[in-house]
Structure 1
């Protein structure tokens, strides 16, 4: 294997990993009937907190835990409005994304002003994130397909009223699924600053949260298919960087939009063939 091919494979892994992590969390949330379009914002906040913790402590482990905690905390805020108050999940998710975009930029400039110089985060190593992603995909797949709790979660997403009638705690499961999704989004954000880059950049998620949402639909709510979709997007992104490096006379903006256009084309072809959970994004109110 030549150096160019190896570099392309490493780039593919680097670009695919955060998408897989975020998409696994969203898969669990949507299987429980919770549509969380705020994962873009949760990734951003997770990235900033992971960066800040990593710079201040020098510990990659604490940085990862900080990112996970930040994503889960933001997911708890989202769940409080959507699950407790019955607010529209689309509106809440969009508001959360806008809040995260503005807040992370502001706090980054306050915590790391230019006069302090260039701060860098610790790098735990590629193997750590690749192994974590593999275990996450395997764990989510086995949980949803082979466990009683996974069956209950899927029942909540399909027929919440029927599941409640059978004694399933619908809101508790949806809360747990939402927090798990937020934690995964925070971990995906931490991956961006602890592996893909060594610093935080405003808006560095660049739509990856929305791509993760699309991958769940593209994968038909099946973990391995979602991974395949993430690899497809990662390959398109890696190819885009490779073409830029070779200096091809293609407009820069056109190269940047290539992976996103590919995602839209895939969604247009496959979205109509996928049936989402029947109670996805439908509020649940227990009947006394």
Structure 2
């Protein structure tokens, strides 16, 4: 189901053209399915008591009172709001109109409140909203950096399946470099170089030798996992005190901003790499959509032959973009060993690179949307700890698989139909 809409003339690549807007029924169907599952949970396992939400911690400049709400009543109100969003989405789909992002956000928020109200009903402990947000951001940092690298790669025409390997290589090199130098900054620089090196290998095989990009990415992931595991066992474990004990970036509070109720401690009492993430997302967006470099990058990813005819060197553009993407992903890898923990562990990325790939698709190959999708996955991971604190009757195994369930739903349902860059995954041969 498609509709035609004029493209703004501000984009020189598509001036005077018309764009096909794809409208899908997948989003309303996915909305309805998730809402029905939450409603079924409330019917099958009702809980008595109230749920407490804490909006301020001790020491906050401005203290907000805790809020206690009836658990089941609040949960059903959330389901009712979600059902209204489902109905609105169905009406829009019937009229061949796209479901706006605002409706998706309202649905997610309503179902989240419903689930938390149900999970915390009757518990003597409360949900700390600030810690829930702050923990979600921390867990999302490597995914955000990985997603940014994935967006850059696909926009230039290279599917970067090797994000997982770049994260792991960055974490390993950051641990070793930071341990030897005694500086976390040196560790981050080493991680950037490690991520760029893995990206260079990917580029050599996919751009120069035109090997299938997916196969090369998978092989690189396996190679990095095997190599880092071997070096960890044979080198880092025997010399752990000298080679695998890093100084971590300490949290830095931004004066004024860190005093904002609820979001201040969560957003502005973080480490340096989190602030780098805040800057990296708009910087990548600006570079991609408001600079000549970004225009050429997108041209190569959409129609490399046309870009070549106007003098853009396709292979060089792809190499440069991949190196930049690899360096960005490497910063995400450094987060594991100079912020999260102070040492490297086997396969410590735990599939974050593949979740980052899902965030790229969920975000429709846009840096800002991909970062928001990564935050959603980080929040899903953080829920396990929050629910265990209040003693919710949810199996830990279910919470461990929740990020991956969200990934599947996001890619298969909530995204609907979207179009990847036309030349993504296609090698370019100059005739």
TM-score, normalization by structure 1: 0.95
Secondary structure at the aligned position of 2:330 is classed as: helix
Match of residue 230 from structure 2: 106
1:26-77 residue CA offsets vs partner (Å, 9 max, x unmatched): 1111100010101101110110000011111110110000011011011111
Distance (whole Å) between structure 2 residues aligned to residue 217 and residue 90 of structure 1: 15
Which of 208, 211, 215 is the aligned partner of 2:352? 208
**Does the CA contact (< 8 Å) of 1:43 and 1:188 recur in 2?**
yes
Unaligned runs of 5+ residues in structure 1 are none
Which of 212, 215, 219 is the aligned partner of 2:363? 219
Match of residue 119 from structure 2: none
**Does the CA contact (< 8 Å) of 2:302 and 2:422 recur in 1?**
yes
The Cα of 1:249 is off from its aligned counterpart by: 4.2
Q: Aligned residues, how many?
A: 287
The Cα of 1:5 is off from its aligned counterpart by: 2.8
Match of residue 131 from structure 2: 7
Which moves more between the two structures, 91-100 or 14-23?
A: 14-23
Runs of 4+ in structure 1 off by over 6 angstroms are none
Distance (whole Å) between structure 1 residues aligned to residue 56 and residue 389 of structure 2: 17
Does 2:211 correspond to 1:67?
A: no
Match of residue 124 from structure 1: 249
Distance (whole Å) between structure 2 residues aligned to residue 186 and residue 116 of structure 1: 22
Distance (whole Å) between structure 1 residues aligned to residue 187 and residue 240 of structure 2: 20
1:146-166 residue CA offsets vs partner (Å, 9 max, x unmatched): 111211110100000010011
Distance (whole Å) between structure 1 residues aligned to residue 277 and residue 239 of structure 2: 37
Match of residue 229 from structure 1: 373
**Does the CA contact (< 8 Å) of 1:29 and 1:180 recur in 2?**
no
Which of 205, 214, 217 is the aligned partner of 1:81? 205
Which moves more between the two structures, 107-116 or 6-15?
A: 107-116
1:239-270 residue CA offsets vs partner (Å, 9 max, x unmatched): 11212344444333221001110111111114
1:133-157 residue CA offsets vs partner (Å, 9 max, x unmatched): 1211111111111111211110100
**Does the CA contact (< 8 Å) of 1:33 and 1:174 recur in 2?**
yes
**Does the CA contact (< 8 Å) of 1:122 and 1:198 recur in 2?**
yes
**Residue correspondence of structure 1 range 48-63 to structure 2 within 5 A:** 48-63=172-187
Match of residue 163 from structure 1: 307
Bigger RCO of structures 1 and 2 (CA < 8 A, at least 6 apart): 1
Distance (whole Å) between structure 2 residues aligned to residue 222 and residue 115 of structure 1: 43
Distance (whole Å) between structure 2 residues aligned to residue 32 and residue 195 of structure 1: 31
Unaligned runs of 5+ residues in structure 2 are 1-54, 58-127, 251-269
Secondary structure at the aligned position of 1:273 is classed as: coil
Which of 72, 86, 95 is the aligned partner of 2:219? 95
The Cα of 1:78 is off from its aligned counterpart by: 1.0
1:106-142 residue CA offsets vs partner (Å, 9 max, x unmatched): 1112222257569431112333112211211111111
Match of residue 262 from structure 2: none
Match of residue 143 from structure 1: 287
Match of residue 151 from structure 2: 27
Report the structure, 1 or 2, having the larger helix content.
Answer: 1
Distance (whole Å) between structure 2 residues aligned to residue 173 and residue 115 of structure 1: 41
Which moves more between the two structures, 148-157 or 119-128?
A: 119-128
**Does the CA contact (< 8 Å) of 1:14 and 1:195 recur in 2?**
no
**Does the CA contact (< 8 Å) of 2:284 and 2:367 recur in 1?**
yes
Report the structure, 1 or 2, having the larger strand content.
Answer: 2
| Distance of aligned partners of 1:162 and 1:266 in 2 relative to their CA distance in 1, 3 Å threshold | same
Match of residue 335 from structure 2: 191
| Distance of aligned partners of 1:74 and 1:15 in 2 relative to their CA distance in 1, 3 Å threshold | same
| Distance of aligned partners of 1:65 and 1:116 in 2 relative to their CA distance in 1, 3 Å threshold | closer
Find the structure with the greater CA-based Rg: 2
**Does the CA contact (< 8 Å) of 2:363 and 2:373 recur in 1?**
yes
